[in-house]
Amino acid sequence: MENIEIAKTFDEVADLLEIQGANPFRIRAYRTAARTIGTLNTSVESMLKKNGHALEELPGIGADLAGKIEGLCRTGGLPLLNELKRKTPESLVALLRIPGVGPKRAKLVFSKLGIKTLGQLEKAARAGRLSKLPGLGAATEQAILRGIEQDKVRTARFPLAEAEAYIRPLVETLRATPGVERLDVAGSFRRRAETVGDVDILLAAKNAAAAAEAFVGYKDVKQVLAHGETKCSVVLRCGLQVDLRIVAESSYGAALHYFTGSKPHNIAVRLLGVKRHLKINEYGVFRGKRQIAGRTEPEVFAAVGLPWIPPELRENRGELDAARAGRLPRLVELTDIRGDLQMHTTDTDGRNTLAEMVEASAARGYEYIAITDHTKAVRVAGGLTEAGFRKQWRQIDAIRKTVKKMTVFKSAEVDILDDGSLDLDEETLAELDIVLVSVHSRFNLSKTAMTRRIVRALQHPRVHVLGHPTGRLLGKREPYPLDMEEIVKAARDYGVLLEINAQPDRLDLNDLHVAMARQAGVRVVIGTDAHRIEELGCMRYGVDQARRGWCEATDVANTLHLDAFRKLIQK
DNA sequence: GCCGTTTTCGGCCCGACTGTTTTCAGTCG
């Protein structure tokens, strides 16, 4: 059983327990455990194989939950979940998705009206039967109906880059509003998560009411969900929800910390506060009624004895322990990047010529780039034959004579065929400076077969980089099944770099896999996979992902200067 | 259901907005 399945099972247990009105702390225990298991970077099954009691070492998992996880792995089922489903239809869980419907109301409509599904809820709302229930009125009924409509067209989470595009003009509007003194986009956006569900904006203003007005009156606001004195919430036309919080300057740091999250990180920090008899909220750090910190973010951390922690690490995945021990990584930065190791040209499916890509890359100040056009198996991209590459090399040789400041590596994104062999002959492979390999077909192999296929490719002595290792497209295509622990091990054993593909809808490896590679001592390389010159700018999203995986510059191969990088790729 | 530098029992992070219940529950983040 995969970790993610265990996490989903526990979340479902928590949902059903909530509807049944169980002890909130018991519910929280299941949610915490779900998150812990879901973000673990080794599989539970392999942990159990090594040590039967390893699970109990995990924070928030005691004897009981460890036993349940073990049972899940052994039998594939959980008796508690079956028991809960017997009492409460599992279809009720879908009702919790609707804004305005929580566990209490789900239980209420089920017990009073026999409603079990979203469809039945909609019907009851249209018939005005919800507003007759105690505690519900016409306004709530309408809100629920709107929520159901929204749910039908609900777009998935937004890739970070897309959210950025929608938020930038809103932020400019707010900054230009008279009286606005400070403004930050917080939340998962500031943590540089690969996707964001909503966007949190924090600001300090002389005139809070005017700032709130400017926010709810923004031209692209479709719907105002809440409009209070310090808190507003809207949905933009694009479907993105944006929350605004307005605080005093004296609370700004505490609020920035609070709204940056993540929630589990905040809870962990607040617990540290509780141990020191401090109360931490979005207004500051308080001893009794006296505020002792909160104007700046570093003050908040200092109050619980910690140095400032970069937002990308705030996921409660060990950053507090690392901070306490003085072992926070010095995260890689965009300015550390000296080269881009994946890009395409008009010779295959790129939109700019080789010369244009080279010129634009040089303008970014890179020391080196790799031209990685597709090979012939990728027909839709017009992949090159061996002869095609030789023709391209003549162009590169010519460019090398004129472009002196930047090295252009002859490279290719060589297709990994079904059986793990490579889509170029040995002679051509041997003449490439860098061999990047990746999978573009037969995504439906079994986990075992796909893992074997890729490991075999990594064993090839000419291979330097594994491109977009899991093949996912955010919101469009799931990663193909893969035993990432095996892939990382193979990368280490055969000296292959793992790519962080910086395309905003790939970001592949994900943050957890990056951390896994780093822990195994496998270097990553960040490539933009640019298909046009504008996409060379995606590098920063790849750097964000590396930072979320705790990477320092030394963990990222393309932070090396040219000479050191050349040495690294000598196999 | 978890956990322990006050505790193996009795705690468990904290606050805003909305609607409707005339004082607060439910929901949300």
Residue ending a domain, choose from A134, A152, A170: A152
Percentages of chain A per state (helix, strand, coil), in multiples of 5: 50, 15, 35
* Residue A280, number of CB atoms within 10 A of its CB: 24
**Residue range A455-496, pLDDT digits in tens:** 999 999 999 999 999 999 987 788 998 999 999 999 999 999
Burial class (CB in 10 A: 0-12, 13-18, 19+), A412: buried
A256 CA – B15 C1', rounded, Å: 15
Give the total number of structural domains in chain A.
4
- How far apart CA A242 and CA A219 sit, in angstroms, is 13
Query: Is pLDDT of A448 > 80?
Result: yes
Predicted pLDDT of residue A571: 73
Q: What's the mean per-residue pLDDT of chain A?
A: 92
Q: How much is the average pLDDT of A169-180?
A: 93
Q: Which nucleotide is nearest to A27 (CA to C1')?
A: B1
Question: Taking the C1' atom of B16, which residue's CA lies nearest?
Answer: A231
Does residue A412 sit in the same domain as residue A559?
Answer: yes
What three-state secondary structure class fits A389?
helix
- How far apart CA A174 and CA A181 sit, in angstroms, is 10
Residue ending a domain, choose from A89, A123, A152: A152
Does residue A307 sit in the same domain as residue A345?
Answer: no
Does residue A376 sit in the same domain as residue A515?
Answer: yes
Q: Which of A397, A418, A371, A388 is nearest to A529 (CA)?
A: A371
**Residue at A352 is within a domain:** yes
CA-only gyration radius of chain A, Å: 26
- DSSP of A409-440, one letter per residue? EEEEEEEB-TTS-BSS-HHHHHH-SEEEEE--
* Residue A123, number of CB atoms within 10 A of its CB: 13
Helix axes A208-216, A160-175, angle to 10 degrees: 130
Question: Taking the C1' atom of B1, which residue's CA lies nearest?
Answer: A26
Protein contacts on strand B: list nucleotides below 7 Å from a Cβ. 1-3, 6, 11-21, 25-29
Residue ending a domain, choose from A296, A324, A352: A324
State the DSSP code for A481.
Answer: P
**Residue range A47-80, pLDDT digits in tens:** 888 887 888 888 889 999 999 999 999 998 999 9
Does residue A299 sit in the same domain as residue A368?
Answer: no
Q: Residue A457 belongs to a domain with what CATH number?
A: 3.20.20.140
**Residue at A329 is within a domain:** no
**Residue at A516 is within a domain:** yes
Does residue A110 sit in the same domain as residue A213?
Answer: no
Q: Which residues pair with A279 in a beta bridge?
A: A286
**Residue at A360 is within a domain:** yes
Q: Residue A126 belongs to a domain with what CATH number?
A: 1.10.150.110
A283 CA – B15 C1', rounded, Å: 10
- How far apart CA A292 and CA A299 sit, in angstroms, is 9
CB neighbour list of residue A321: distance below 8 Å, 6 or more residues apart: none
Q: Residue A180 belongs to a domain with what CATH number?
A: 3.30.460.10
Tokens matching residue A124: 């009851």
Burial class (CB in 10 A: 0-12, 13-18, 19+), A562: middle
- How far apart CA A203 and CA A181 sit, in angstroms, is 7
Predicted pLDDT of residue A74: 92
Does residue A484 sit in the same domain as residue A376?
Answer: yes
**Residue range A328-387, pLDDT digits in tens:** 999 999 999 999 999 999 999 999 999 999 999 999 999 999 999 999 998 888 899 999
- Kindly tell me the sign of the dihedral angle through the C-alpha atoms of A16, A21, A23, A25: positive
A452 CA – B29 C1', rounded, Å: 43
**Residue at A400 is within a domain:** yes
Does residue A314 sit in the same domain as residue A397?
Answer: no
**Residue at A362 is within a domain:** yes
Does residue A454 sit in the same domain as residue A484?
Answer: yes
Does residue A135 sit in the same domain as residue A191?
Answer: no
Do A438 and A416 touch, CB atoms closer than 8 A?
yes
A80 CA – B27 C1', rounded, Å: 27
Does residue A402 sit in the same domain as residue A500?
Answer: yes
Question: Taking the C1' atom of B13, which residue's CA lies nearest?
Answer: A267
Q: Which nucleotide is nearest to A13 (CA to C1')?
A: B1
Q: In the structure, what pLDDT confidence band is assigned to residue A148 with cuts at 50, 70 and 90?
A: confident
**Residue at A258 is within a domain:** yes
Q: Residue A301 belongs to a domain with what CATH number?
A: 3.30.210.10
Q: How much is the average pLDDT of A421-449?
A: 94
Does residue A185 sit in the same domain as residue A302?
Answer: no
A12 CA – B29 C1', rounded, Å: 20
Does residue A341 sit in the same domain as residue A433?
Answer: yes
Q: Can you give the residue range of the structural domain that contains A92?
A: 3-152
